Structures are given as C-alpha cells and as structure tokens.
Chain A
Amino acid sequence: MKFRKYRSARIATEPVLHAPHAGCDIPIVSTLSKNEQLLKGIFQNCSDVVFHSTPTPMHTETLALYINGLPDTKHLDDIILNSLIGSDSQSPQQAFHKNFTPVSMSRKVALLSDVVDSVLGGEVVFLFEGEEHGLAVSVQGNERRAIEDPPSEPVIRGPREGFVESLLTNTSLLRRRLRSANLKIEMSEIGQLSRTEVAIVYLKDIAKDELVNNVRDRLNRIQIDGVLESGYIEEFIADAPYSPFPQIQNTERPDVVIGSLLEGKVAIITDGTPIALILPMTFWAGLQASEDYYERSFISTPIRWLRILFTSVSLLLPSMYVSLVSYDHPALPTNLLLSIASSQRLSPFPAIIETLLMEITFEALREAGVRLPKGVGSAVTIVGGIVIGQAAVQAGFISAPVVIVVATTGIASFIIPRYNFGLAFRLLRFPLLLLSGFMGFFGLMIGIIAIIIHLAALRSFGLPYLFPVAPLSMVGLKDVFLRKAWFSMNLRPSSAAQNNLLRIPPEQQPDQRNKGD
C-alpha cells in the first residue's frame, strides 16, 4: 500500500523569499540622482509611488518619496514642507530633527532597502543631495474604520468598543484598559510579502514564561507569503489543526482580551483584522460570554447552566430523536410514541432521512443568511421559515416532530457564545446523526464516547482542553459551572498563570459590618 506512488512530484519547497528589491542592501550614496535611479528601478510600474523633488532654500535637492494615499498629505504639506522651505538653518536634515522629532516619528535610514521598507510601510522618506542617509518620517494617514460596537459579540451590559483593523489602535485600546508596564506588547512581522505586523500581548509575571516562549517560537516558525487574517496564524500554531474544536479563542472585544490576560493567558493581535487570538483556550471558555462577568453572579450562574444544557441539546437532540423513534421506542412515554406515530404515518421517509434532510436544509439556510447582503437576508429567513416549517409538513414530506427537533436544535446552537466553538457542535451533529441512524443509542453512545476521548486528549499550548474539570482543579471550578462572585474568586486559575496567583485579597464580601448604618 504505497500511497507515495500516486503523489505528484514534489514542488520545490524553497519559498519565494521576499526580495522585491534584491541586491539593494547597498547604502545610500550621496548622489541623489543615482539613488533616485535605483529606487525608480525598484519601484518600476508602481504608479502609486511618488517621487517628489523639492528645492529648499539651501538649494540642496531634496527628494520626498512616499506611496500615494498612505501618508496624510495634508499633514505632509502643512508641517514638513513648510518647515523645509522656511528653515534657513544649516541643512534640511537638521531642520527636520529640530522641528519634527517631537511631533512625529522620524528616523535615519542608511540603506536603500531601509528606504524601500519605510516607503512600503507608509512613511515618507526624504533623501538629500550630498547626504549619505535619508530621513524616514511617519505621517500615517488615518483612513480606517471607526471604533464601533463589535458585531460578532454584542452585549447588553459591558463596553461597546470593538477592535478595528489597525494594530496600533487595537494595542492602544488594550493599554487604555491596563495601565501597567507589565503589559508587554511584542511586535513582529509575519509574511514575506505582506509583512503583516503581529503583536504578542501578555502580562509579565502573570503569564507563564514557557507559554510566552512557546507562542514566540511557534510564531517565528511561520513562513508564508501573506497573512490576511488571524485565522492564518491560528492554523499555523494550533496544537491539533484537524480537531473540530478550536484550541485558540478569538474575540473582537478588548475587554475579553484584558480579562484573559489577567488570568495569565496570551493574546495575539494581527494587523489588518479586528479579530484577536487568545490562548490557551479550554472547552469551558467556549461556553462563557464576557457578560457573565458584568452581570451579577446570581444571574450568570443559571445562565451558564442553561448554556451547558442547550449546548448538549444542540449536539445530541437530532440523534437522540432518531434513535428513539427508530430503535428504542420502549424508552418513549406512550403518549409521545402515539403522537409521533400519528405524525410519522404521513411522511414517506424513515426518521433518519427526514432528520438529515432537515438538518442539512437548516444549515444551508443559516449559511445563506450569513453570506447574503442585509436586504436579502430577511427574504431568505421568511422563505426558509415557511419552507422548513409549514410547507414541508403540510405537503407530507416531513413529519412535524422533526421540524420541532430541528428548530430546537437550531435555537440551541445559537446559544453558544463563542462562534468558532459553536461551529464544532454544528459539524459533529452530523456524524452522530449517522451513527444513531445506523445503530440507535448504541451508535450514539459510541459517538459521544469518541468525542469525549478526543476532548480529553486535546491540548491547547500544553493545557488540557477540559482543564478545570479534567484534570480537576477546585480553583478553576469557581468559574466553570458557577460564576462565583468576584470577591470570592480570589485566585487566578492556575491554568496559564505562573505566580501572583492571588488576584483579589479575601474577606471583601459585603456583609452586615460594612453596611452603612
């Protein structure tokens, strides 16, 4: 059994190294025209690169080089060029340094490749006649989305800020919430062509060192031409990329990131996407919403139970229905059996086929609803509702209980707060459905056992996926099935945190003593 035979010939594994300006590791020469010529060669056919020659009062030629649209041209004109013209100091460079270092970021560049990098990074590079280094000035334009309510994780109570596509805005959102020098933000670039900036964010002395090192190593190993979204990174660094369960949590909410950092987790923020990654993730984190921590614990705890219940419903209900009506009728109450029998009598398909058909239709509807423009989405909902709900039953295609089961399952699957976690259940429903269609409860149990074995074997950056429950940790349990009040969650879960485990000094419970009298 040699599968190798059928494999196509291996493609050269050498990646196309990012060398858009190969051979330009040469320093800037003092002749401006020569520099210009070289740079124009590099930026050949890049119509958006602007070479702007500016005469200065000192009659030194100055070349401003930038990509049209990236820098804020108004800013550029107002401040920099005016100062250039108005300065009658020794050299334009000194004029720059004198006037604008406080205002904006500027640094010296000595190599042509640095010039190219700066230009591509959206900076303006000034080259001067007779100078052997240029000046890169950052006047970033701000064409970006405003900070708004995160659409994928809305809350009733809690901050309404969501991440945007700009990395710096996102890190500033984090800094604003955690004014501590221990909040470390390590930037690096990933992607040979896209050169996407990626930041590892963690709390020093709280996050485990080996975890941070582990994340760093895994990020450094990535070789790819472009990173468009944090999902690229997630697949590269996840422990089990083929598991249906996500081992890395993602979020749009800065408060969720900060909350996780305080528990000793690590976040990865990618430029160009509002989705941040949080790791390690546990199974239970998939069932928690940020609002659990803002609403009173008395309310949050039963809501968590509801979530756990309905998560299992969304996974098991269709297959339980199929095994009950196709194999294990003795387990049904007689009244229910009779009413199921009366509605099944009208439908032509066996229960497994019915349920599969309806489940697939429902998933298709759901997918259609996500992809469609907003205006059309409602039409799909109406049509789908009528087709799935009434018409199928009245036409005698589908028996009514199946519709109820599918609808309940649908509602239940929407209760899972983390979208990517819900996807796992959405997918696993189908193998379980097939198993119970073939073998009844026996098959269903096999499927459930397989899922539990898989979950127990899963690790997320060294942390067992079922962490506070298996292996058992009493400290962690305060935040799984219950959401204990803040004053009693004194310790950090030891999952990712290494030291500084005490986060809330004990004995702060409001009681009779500190009631005002």
Chain B
Amino acid sequence: MINKCAAASAIIVVCSLITTGCWDRQEVKNLAIVTATGLDYNKDGTYTQSVQIAIPSPTTQASGGGNDQKTFFVISAKGKTLADTRQHLQQTIHLKLYYSHRRVIIIGEQMARNGLEQVLDSFHREIDMRMRNMVFVTKGTDAAAMLKSPVTLESIPADQFRYLHLQPSGRSTTIMNFDATASSEGIDPTMGAFEVVQEHSSDESATSQTTAPKPRIKLYGVGIFKKLKLVGYLNDEETRALNWITGNITDSYLTTYIPQGHGNVSVHILGAKRAIHSKVLGKTIRMNVSVSGECELIEDGTDLDFSRPENVKLVNDILSSTVKRSIENSVKKTQQLYKADVFGFGRIFHAAHPQEWKQLSAPWSTLYPQVDVTVHTQISVIGSGFAKMPLYRNESSGEVK
C-alpha cells in the first residue's frame, strides 16, 4: 500500500515536472534590456518609438580605461500605433525586447503638444508597463535625439534622467502621478522637461580640438499640460518658484544682488514652509500664499558686516522680495499665458470651500486666470557663517554700514 502511494506520487511529481513550467523560462542573455523609451509624433500622423537598450557591461578586464565605451544603443521604428511601433522594433532586433526594467519614458515635444491620450491608453494596457516609470518631456528636440545623446559615467544610461531631476529645479512625475494629477479637478499636471545642449569640448588637447561638439542633456524645467496637451514650459527659475509653492524646495541655492553691499550673496536653503489660504471675496477668489524659508549664507561677495542685525535684516528683505517676485512672475505666466493651474490652487480652494466650489460659475480652468494670488515671503538667514569679521577685511576699507 505504502509502495503504491509512493509510486503513484512519484509518477505524478515527475509527470508534472516534465509537462509543466519552462515555457516562461527566458535566459537573461536572450533579453534586450530596455532602459528608456522615447515617443515621437511625426507630421504624417504616425508615431515613432525609440528604445534605449543597455549593452550589458563587459567584465572589467576588457575595458582598458576606455571611458568612451558605448553602454547603450538606440533603435527606432515607425508605426500607426504604439503597439505597432513595438512590433516593428522587435523586427529589428533578434533579442526579446524586455521592458520590465524600463526606468524612464521620454515624450517628444511634438508628441506632447499633439496630446497624450493614446500614449496613456497604450501604457495602461501594456502588460509589462510599470506605473512608476518616470515620464519626462523634451524641449526643442524629439525624444529619439535625446535618447541618442551620449552618457558618461553611468552603466544604466536612463538613470541620468532620474538623477538629474533631483536638482532643485527638477520635478519628477511617474505615470501614476501624472494620471492622478491629470484626472483630478483644480490642478493641471506638469512633467519634468529636458533639453539637449551642444557642448563644446573644453579641454585644450589637440585631439579634442577636432571633435564635433557633443550633445548633452540638460535639465530645463517643467512642461505644463492642459487637457493632456503640452501648452508650454516653465524654465529653471520659474520651476523653483513652483517648487516654493508646492513645498518641494530642497537643497537649493539662491543668489541675489545686494545693492547696498555692492555685491552678490548666495544662500543655501535649509528648509521651507508654505501655507496657502483661499478666500472668497464676492466674485473674486483670493489665494494667500505665504512662504517662509530658512537659509545659511554660503557665499558673500558684499562688504556688509553680518554681525550687525540690521544688515542681516536687509539681506533677508532682499532675499524675500526676490523670491516673492519670482513666484509672482511664475503665477502670472501660468495665469495669463498658459491658463493652467499647475500649483493646485483649485484643489486647495476645493478643500477649503467645498460649498463655493460647487457653485462656481464656470470650470476652474477658465476661472483660474482671474484668481487673485497674493504672495508673502519671509526668507531669513539663520547662519552667517561668521564668528568674527574675516581677517582680510581690514578696517581701512571701512565700509561697514
């Protein structure tokens, strides 16, 4: 009896092992690992999809200091839909295109201006799509060119986008966040924007004199979307203002000219707080934005004596007004030029005044340009970095105000 059971179970196990499984087996060497995808819209109404495929880094012994080793290559294909382009892509490479490790999706400017409905639809249906892929938009180039620009010091080429956007004027959006923002009322989505700049080799050696200028990727700011269409960009400074309002300003520097000190100061922002309150005054909606930040002085080109409180106050005031001006400019730009509420004022208003929100005469996107935004900023330098006056400032220069 025992023997019967044992024999039967052994047969079952062996059969199930032989007859199941293994169809999913996919050796790593047969995969083309896609690290980034670029999407472009052509004038004839077709799409171009480019994929950046990482070349598995050969073992270290082969690389004799060759820092120009190609770590990736890009292939592109045209098609009527994105799925169509994917199929055309697969026809040009013998390995299975493998999207699970894709990190970044770059959307060309034309594509973005044309609208993202179809792109998002495709993304939502793709089986190997990670909703936490970052999406960026290009400025002035198409996505394919951006993907092709060389990368140094990075084995996963697409990671440069992920690390670049960590700069203070960068903003990262994942597909998931973009969806959520785009589908909610009272806020318009943004996407980090990159541009390609031609970099002239700065080294003086004779060999590099002859080399053509290399394209490099540079963080530009954000692209602003309205109804899933790109309507414009905010540049570096405007993006910082956006970050001030949304409370994302971190590890950022601020430089401004102090006329009384005949020079510039740079401060390092240590922490920032913001509070936005909405008010309804008759017909107009007012948003009170108050931003406060603490910073330390990191570079001082002025001749002010920072041991004096009035000088510190002076610098604080100038810094605050600088920030205030930049925030006001950005808000104005979004209100008048793009009519897109990227700051999410509508959302805040909705949360604070649900009743009034229901009785709005028109959709928020049309009301937004008339919203009255007042900005209060208070930036204070908490560390001047001086225990005493520096030695090189002798008394004879005697500026001290």
Q: What is A's interface to B at a CB cutoff of 8 Å? A: 1, 3, 325-327, 329-330, 334-335, 337-345, 347, 350-351, 400, 434-435, 438-440, 442-443
Given the complex of chains A and B, what is the CA–CA distance between A54 and B270 in angstroms?
Answer: 109
- A338 x B17 contact (CB < 8 A): no
Query: What chain A residues lie within 8 Å of B7 (beta carbons)?
Result: 1, 3
6 A-B pairs with CB atoms under 8 Å apart are A326-B25, A329-B31, A337-B101, A338-B156, A439-B21, A439-B22
Which residues of chain B have C-beta atoms less than 8 A from A342's C-beta? 56-59
Contact residue among A1, A325, A334 (Cβ-Cβ distance under 8 Å from B101): A334
- B33 & A334 in contact (Cβ 8 Å cutoff): yes
Give A400 to B59 CA distance when docked, in angstroms.
Answer: 10
- The CA of A430 and the CA of B100, in the complex, are separated in Å by 30
Identity of the chain A residue whose Cβ is nearest the Cβ of B100 in the assembled complex = A330
Q: Please name the residue on chain A nearest to B62 by beta carbon.
A: A342
Cβ B28 vs Cβ A341 within 8 A? yes
Q: Is the interface of A mostly helix, strand, loop or mixed?
A: helix
Decide if B26 touches A334 in the complex (CB within 8 Å): no
Please pick, from A327, A334, A351, A400, the residue contacting B24 in the complex, using a CB distance under 8 A.
A327
Contact B101 A329 (CB under 8 A): yes
**Least CB distance, A43 to chain B, in whole angstroms:** 46
A337 touches B25 (CB 8 A): no
A348 and chain B: residue at smallest CB distance: B29
Q: How far is the CA of A347 from the CA of B33 in the complex (A)?
A: 18
Q: Are A327 and B25 in contact (CB under 8 A)?
A: yes
User: Known contacts A329-B98, A334-B156: does B26 contact A339 (CB below 8 Å)?
Assistant: no
Bound state CA distance, A351 and B26, in angstroms? 10
Q: Roughly how many angstroms separate A218 CA and B156 CA in the complex, as a whole number?
A: 65
Contacts of A330 in B (CB 8 A): 100-101
**9 tightest A-B CB contacts, nearest first:** A342-B56, A341-B56, A439-B21, A330-B100, A438-B21, A344-B29, A341-B28, A345-B29, A338-B56
Q: How far is the CA of A351 from the CA of B22 in the complex (A)?
A: 12
Residues of chain B within 8 A of A3, CB atoms compared: 3-4, 7
B78 an interface residue at 8 Å Cβ cutoff?
A: no
User: Provided the pairs A329-B101, A339-B56 are in contact, do residues A438 and B22 lie with their beta carbons within 8 angstroms?
Assistant: yes
Partner of B31, one of A1, A341, A350: A341
Q: Which residues of B contact A350 (CB under 8 A)?
A: 25, 27
Cα distance A438–B4 in the bound complex, in angstroms: 26
Question: Would you give the 0/1 interface string for B33-68, flagging 1 where the beta carbon is closer than 8 Å to chain A?
Answer: 101000000000000000000101111000000000
Q: How far is the CA of A434 from the CA of B100 in the complex (A)?
A: 26
| Cβ contact within 8 Å between A341 and B25 | no
Q: How far is the CA of A325 from the CA of B25 in the complex (A)?
A: 9
Q: Does B165 contact A (CB under 8 A)?
A: no
- Residues of chain B contacted by A439 (CB below 8 angstroms): 20-22
A344 touches B59 (CB 8 A): no
| Chain A residues closer than 8 Å to B100, beta-carbon distance | 329-330
Q: Is B311 an interface residue (CB 8 A)?
A: no
What is the minimal beta-carbon distance from B382 to any residue of chain A, in angstroms? 40
The interface residues of chain A lying within 8 Å CB-to-CB of B17 are 434-435, 438
Residues of B within 8 A of A334 (CB): 33, 35, 54, 101, 103, 156
When distances are taken between beta carbons in the complex, the residues of chain A under 8 Å from B98 are: 329
- The answer for the CA separation of A68 and B31 in the assembled complex, in Å, is 76
Interface residues of B in 86-130 (CB under 8 A from A): 98, 100-101, 103
Q: Which residue of B lies closest to A343 (CB)?
A: B59
Complex contact B33–A338 (CB within 8 A): yes
User: A3-B3, A443-B21 are contacts. A341–B155 as well, Cβ < 8 Å?
Assistant: no
Chain A nearest CB from B362 CB (Å) reads 46
Contact, CB under 8 Å: A341 / B33? yes
Q: Are A345 and B56 in contact (CB under 8 A)?
A: yes
Which secondary structure dominates where chain B touches chain A?
loop
Within the assembled complex, what's the spacing in Å between the Cα atoms of A350 and B22? 12
Smallest distance from the beta carbon of B369 to chain A beta carbons, Å? 44
Q: Which chain A positions have C-beta within 8 A of B20?
A: 438-439
In the complex, what residues of B have CB within 8 A of residue A327's CB? Answer: 24-26
Quick check: A335 and B28 within 8 Å, CB to CB?
no
Please judge, given known A-B contacts A334-B101, A338-B155, whether A326 and B26 are in contact too, CB under 8 Å: yes
Cα A341 to Cα B155 in complex, Å, equals 13
Closest to B60 in A: A339
Say whether B28 contacts A340, CB under 8 Å.
yes
Closest approach, in angstroms, between the C-beta of A155 and any C-beta of chain B?
A: 41
- CB-nearest residue of chain A relative to B27? A350
Partner of B156, one of A335, A343, A344, A400: A335
**Closest residue of chain A to B22, judged by CB?**
A438
Contact A440 B29 (CB under 8 A): no
A364–B7 CA distance with the chains assembled, in angstroms: 29
Q: How far is it, in angstroms, between the C-alpha of A435 and the C-alpha of B16 when the chains are bound?
A: 11
Q: Could you say which residues of chain A place their CB within 8 Å of the CB of B27?
A: 325-326, 344, 350-351
Q: Given A3-B3, A438-B22, A443-B21, is A344 in contact with B101 using a C-beta cutoff of 8 Å? A: no
Given known contacts A335-B156, A342-B59, A329 and B4 CB-to-CB distance under 8 angstroms: no
Q: How far is the CA of A498 from the CA of B172 in the complex (A)?
A: 66
Most chain-B CB neighbours within 10 Å: which of A337, A344, A351, A435? A337
Contacts of B28 in A (CB 8 A): 325-326, 329, 337, 340-341, 344, 351
Q: When chains A and B are docked, how far (Å) is the Cα of A335 from the Cα of B31? A: 14
Q: How far is the CB of A515 from chain B (nearest CB, A)?
A: 46
- B4, A1: Cβ atoms closer than 8 Å: yes
Residues of B within 8 A of A343 (CB): 59
Contact of A335 among B22, B24, B29, B155 (CB under 8 A): B155
Q: Which of A339, A341, A342, A345 has the most CB of B within 10 A?
A: A341
Let me know if B54 and A338 touch, CB within 8 A: yes
**A435 to chain B: which residues have CB within 8 Å?**
17
- Nearest CB on A from B104, distance (A): 12
Residue from the set A325, A342, A350, A440 with the largest chain B CB neighbour count within 10 Å: A342
Task: State how many angstroms separate the Cβ of A451 from the closest Cβ of chain B.
Answer: 14
Query: How many angstroms from the CA of A330 to the CA of B7 in the assembled complex?
Result: 38
- Check B57 against A339 for contact (C-beta < 8 Å): yes
Chain B, residue nearest A322 (CB): B25
Shortest distance from the beta carbon of A323 to any chain B beta carbon, whole Å: 10
A440 CA / B17 CA spacing, docked (Å): 12
**When the two chains form the complex, which single residue of A329, A337, A340, A440 contacts B21, counting CB atoms closer than 8 Å?**
A440
The CA-CA distance from A236 to B57 in the complex, in Å, is 57
How far apart sit A337 and B17, CA to CA, in the bound complex (Å)? 27
Residues of A within 8 A of B35 (CB): 334
Q: Counting chain A CB atoms within 10 Å of each CB, which of B21, B22, B25, B103 scores highest? A: B25
The answer for the CA separation of A428 and B101 in the assembled complex, in Å, is 33
CB-defined contacts of B59 to chain A, threshold 8 Å: 342-343, 400
- A434–B31 Cα distance when bound, in Å, is 23
Please report the C-alpha to C-alpha distance between residue A371 and residue B3 in the assembled complex, in whole angstroms. Answer: 34
Determine the chain B residues whose CB is within 8 A of the CB of A440 once the complex forms. Answer: 21, 24-25
Return chain A residues, CB-CB under 8 Å to B21: 438-440, 442-443
Residues of A within 8 A of B4 (CB): 1, 3
A237 to B50, CA, bound (A): 69
A441 to chain B, nearest CB (A): 11
Bound-state CA distance A345–B57 (Å) is: 11
Contact residues in B for A337 (Cβ distance below 8 Å): 28, 33, 101
Closest to A351 in B: B27
Residue in A327, A329, A351 with the greatest tally of chain B CB atoms within 10 Å = A329
List residues of chain B with CB within 8 A of the CB of A326.
Answer: 25-28
Complex contacts, A442 vs chain B, CB 8 Å: 21
